[in-house]
Structure 1
């Protein structure tokens, strides 16, 4: 059986070659291709290394150097510069879409589940923050929102913003980005995404079915007064509709994915600036998908 890390690195490099251009700038030196640097950053995040640790890993691993096409080992500052200069949300989204392309089939449609979780910012210890009274309120952690293809448990889209924040504004951008990656028939989400506007967007703009429980607002007796929310109350509350309830129970899989990601790659981000923190969180989504491809037995 082939080494798991080599399988991951090979898939990461194959995804990067398809998702990234050969050169990101006409002034860029071709010593290290962007696809190779991006794949190396995926390995760094997968192994929870820092930039110096990634440089050390490449120095002792001739297989990884040959796989990425490195004639010499890049300095750790090269990886830092590439991440700081080029690791945009659009580039990461392109890589995420490439991982999905390796699983989906022509004409295949799917069910999409939405949820979000928080990622701590850990460039200082929590003890130091407590002693220095540096709890940063809304900037104390990032909210990582996901749109997941339920079947193979692959991420279709992701969004990162400061927390704490409500869930319902995330549905439109997540569903829009997910629909650009793959066609789907149904969106399922918890009550945090409940709003008539979200249902209208799914049904009337995207043309897909939505299952989002209607939660109580100000009234203790009347739960829903608008058409789509009334339909959700009828389908998902007791006695409800058995088929709708069975479909909605698939939502738990996205919570499993978030739990797996936190156990495997930690619940904290090590980056320091706002841009690199967001980039690291988004990169974690690509790392999860590449690792999922390895577990599904999909080769490069």
Structure 2
């Protein structure tokens, strides 16, 4: 505790990290207006214009009971479910009241549950692709219960976590790649998938920023193969021998020759905090827990929240 206080005191005395004073360059008037417009997006009824046409196409060649509700409507209800933490029975009541003011047919909660459960959530449809993208990669844990730590200790109840792995465009702050796993999956294991998704959802990735959890020879080999610059933080005592990755050895020598501070400036490593910012925003808007009971339900709920973040970001 004494050491932590000393570090904070010295940073304040120097004027910030590495002696730099923090400058708040945000346009607060514009930022406030973005938050106000976010409220308008929650009640966007654009799907009503395509209701009849979409249902007709969905039922072409279908055998059995026809669809009554278009996919766009179900997606909208799924977003309301995670935005407002609205249980399915309350969603039925919400639609019953809304149908008195808008030309839509209310759905019962069992239909909503089944249709939302069967949604094919596509990340690429929520992205405005950029070119020469720099991505930051990280992961975070999501609690699967709201039960407090005292209850966990008293009743020895450990329900674990689910783990969200993200790759984020450091400029636009869009999520370009995501994976959701259990808590036992390592960060480096998900790196290949995040990189491939990021390349598919952009017009070219030129650099990857990541912390020491991704200091893995396979990750460096993937970057070398794709002609992508590494901004992965290698361990301070890492060996300069190749050990299966010549590119990693080259990156280790570069950091040792420059020193961490100069290496960080050269690589723009500070922009890696863009992914930390996205994680913070998602947790503040949608919460730090999931409410679904099944594992697949938890994964689906968290994926919906992350896609909702992209939708909000690109519509504001």
Where on the TM-score scale, by shorter chain, does this alignment land: which range?
0.7 to 0.9
Give SS of 1:281's match: helix
Change (3 A) 1:267 1:224: farther
Partner of 1:97: 124
Which deviates further from its counterpart, 286-295 or 126-135?
A: 126-135
Q: 5 Å matches for 1:76-155?
A: 76-84=109-117, 86-87=118-119, 91-92=120-121, 94=122, 96-100=123-127, 103-104=128-129, 108-122=131-145, 129-136=152-159, 140-155=160-175
Deviations 1:97-136 (A, max 9, x none): 1221xx335xx22111110001111276766655543314
Following superposition of structure 1 onto structure 2, how do residues 34-53 of structure 1 map, counting pairs within 5 Å?
34-53=71-90
Retained in 2: the 8 A contact 1:213–1:232?
Answer: no
Normalised by the size of structure 1, how large is the TM-score? 0.78
SS of the residue corresponding to residue 147 of structure 1 reads strand
From 275, 281, 288, the equivalent of 2:296 is 275
User: Quick one: distance in 1 between partners of 2:142 and 2:168?
Assistant: 18
Measured after TM superposition, the shift of residue 176 of structure 1 is 0.9
Unpaired segments of 5 or more residues in structure 2?
A: 1-32
Q: Distance in 2 between matches of 1:42 and 1:214?
A: 39
- Measure how far apart 1:225 and its partner are: 2.1
Alignment check: 8 A CA contact 2:134 2:208 kept? yes
Secondary structure of 1:40's counterpart equals: helix
The aligned residue for residue 26 of structure 1 is 62
Tell me the number of residue pairs that the alignment of Structure 1 and Structure 2 aligns: 270
For 1:3 and 1:56, locate their aligned partners in 2 and report how far apart those are by CA, in whole Å: 26
CA distance in 1, matches of 2:288, 2:165: 14
Considering Cα pairs closer than 8 Å and 6+ residues apart, tell me whether 1 or 2 has the greater RCO.
Answer: 1
Corresponding position of 1:60: 97
Counterparts of residues 188-199 of structure 1 (less than 5 Å) = 188-199=209-220
1:225 maps to 241
Cα offset, 1:37, TM superposition = 0.6
Question: Runs of 5+ in structure 1 lacking a partner?
Answer: 296-300
Higher-Rg member (1/2): 2
Root mean square deviation, CA, Å: 3.1
2:8 corresponds to which residue? none
User: Offset at 1:3?
Assistant: 5.7
